[in-house]
Amino acid sequence: MAQRTEPARGMRDFLPEDVRRREYAIGIITRVYERYGFEPLETPAVENIETLLGTYGEEGNQLIFKILKRGEHEATGQADLALRYDLTVPLARVVAQYQSRLPRLFKRYQIQPVWRADRPARGRFREFYQCDVDSLGSTSPMVEAELCAAMSDALTELGFNDFVIRINHRQFLAYLLNTFAVPRESHADALVAIDKLDKIGGDGVLKELLNRGISEQSSDAMLQFFEGAAEIKGSAPDPEENEAALDVGRDRLPIGSPGRDAVENIRAILRITSGTSAEGRMRLDFSLARGLSYYTGAIMEINVADLAGSLGGGGRYDNLVGMFLGQNIPACGFSLGLERILVVMGERNMFPPTLKTTAADVMIATFDAAGAPAAMRLAAQLREAGLRVLVYPDPEKIGKQIKYADSRGIPFVALLGENEIRDNTVTVKNLAAQTQDTYGQADAGATIVEALRQRG
């Protein structure tokens, strides 16, 4: 092999069938988002590096793809640009930049690639699409509820029926950590540990907390709070269990405390979702943490059983726009991870068979150079009739040409040889039925269209 031909690490080429699958999923998601009144937005792949740094937290900064300065500064290894890491921070920048031109309540969707210098794994890539929806300008819990509903609609229309949207609240978590004397710089570590309560249980979390340098007193106290996890953490996406868990959480927090307010905020959101398609999907999970540092309120994450990571996530971030504008605008968003959705859909065979449709409905075989103009004329006629037409460019043996059409799944081959050209006719071969008939060239298009219709 002369040269490596794989795409760069963590990057992928999309062959025709891949693209059709992606476009299928994106089409459904877009239609759902539009149905909720979200408007499209696109932003550049590249941002000024200072726009991105400092908004995602330590881990995030490490994963940003940086672009070296050009020219004489290149040698210094300094970066002044970077590939966007998500679609939320660029949105906040746009809102700050165009505040006067955007509506007071701004609902936008954005389906574009983002880049992370992460280590690739199943369902994880260095270039991947996110499908974001965000509402800016309102603090109402109706915003969170509506986002959850949109996620539910999109996933349901894609064919998922087993997803769960977990919900928690950053202020609740922050209050808890402060109450149990976890120093601010250790909050992220503590949350990562707590986030694993599902997977590794109370003992595992305790170990993890201590490993991460959280004091024994703090760790014990927090675990005690989460102990009786069955009662404090809704175990199923069930409204009554959620309410019960909320009551337990509320009763363990002082009246008037931010933690208690957060619990009631979750309750409000959950009650509103009961009027939406997200009903029966929501599960309160006091141990849900999520990595990004800019969240300030409710946080949500979508899971299915057969994928370790999440299909999507989101939350409220009331202070992010303020970092660019100097004045806060409340905001809340939710993002679907296209690649993970596609991975699961592929494994579960969730794509409709019609996606496998081929490049063309009919192929015109080529006999010799003299017939080329007639072939092109016929192709134009057939296209006029609404058919997708491929003209075989080389006068190879007819058997080989037909074999090609068959191997590509093209159902009809039009044979336009000397005789047909002389008679102004065309012989149309139906590969599946193993039949062929000769028609006037003017009638061939309609005949094939009708035959395709009958095939379904």
Partner RNA sequence: GUGGGUGUAGCUCAGUGGUAGAGCGCCGGACUGUGGCUCCGGAAGUCGCGGGUUCGAAACCCGUCACCCACCCCA
What residues line the site for RNA (CB under 7 A)? 1, 6, 9-10, 59, 86, 116, 118-126, 128, 130, 192-193, 195-196, 199-200, 290-292, 301, 308-313, 335, 337, 339-340, 367, 396-400, 402-403, 406-407, 415, 417-420, 427, 429, 431-432, 434, 436
Q: Which of 293, 264, 232, 377 is nearest to 89 (CA)?
A: 293
Q: Which is nearer to RNA, 69 or 196 (CB)?
A: 196
Asked whether 174 and 163 are in contact (CB, 8 A), the reply is no
Smallest gap, in angstroms, from Cβ of residue 402 to RNA? 4
Residue 45 carries which side chain, given as an amino acid letter? A
Which CB atom, from 34 or from 59, has the smaller least distance to RNA? 59
What is the C-alpha to C-alpha distance for residues 417 and 404, in angstroms, rounded to an integer?
A: 18
Question: How far, in Å, CA of 348 to CA of 382, rounded?
Answer: 38
User: Hey, is 109 helix, strand or coil?
Assistant: strand
Please state, in angstroms and rounded to a whole number, the distance separating the CA atoms of residues 113 and 126: 10
Task: Return the closest-CA partner of residue 299 out of 324, 344, 354, 262.
Answer: 262
Q: In angstroms, what is the minimal distance from the CB of 108 to RNA?
A: 18
Asked if residue 410 lies in contact with residue 361, where contact means CB atoms within 8 angstroms, the answer is yes
Minimum CB distance to RNA smaller for 121 or for 230: 121
Nearer to RNA, 280 or 417 (CB): 417
Under DSSP, the state recorded for 87 is: S
Q: Rounded to the nearest whole angstrom, what is the least distance from the CB of residue 326 to RNA in the complex?
A: 26
> What sign for the dihedral angle of Cα 190, 195, 200, 203?
positive
CB of 59 or CB of 251, closer to RNA:
59
Residue 286 or residue 367: which is nearer to RNA going by CB?
Answer: 367
Helices (H), 317-397: 320-325, 338-347, 372-384
SS3 label, residue 420: helix
Cβ proximity to RNA: between 253 and 366 the closer is 366
Minimum distance from CB of 314 to RNA (Å)? 8
User: Which amino acid is it at 419?
Assistant: N
- CA gap 54, 60 in Å, rounded: 8
Its sign, for the CA torsion 260, 266, 270, 276, is positive
3-state helix, strand, coil in the chain (%, to 5): 45, 20, 35
Residue type, 264: E
Q: How far is the CB of 417 from RNA (least distance, A)?
A: 3
Which residue, 1 or 305, is less far from RNA as judged by CB? 1
Q: What minimum distance in Å lies between the beta carbon of 72 and RNA?
A: 29
Q: Least distance from C-beta 365 to RNA, angstroms?
A: 8
Cβ(333)–Cβ(147) under 8 Å? yes
Q: Please name which of 227, 374, 333 lies closest in space to residue 287, comparing C-alpha atoms.
A: 227
Q: Which is nearer to RNA, 108 or 340 (CB)?
A: 340
Q: Cβ 169 to RNA, closest distance in Å?
A: 16
CB contact at 8 A, 218 and 182: yes
* Shortest Cβ 309–RNA spacing (Å): 3
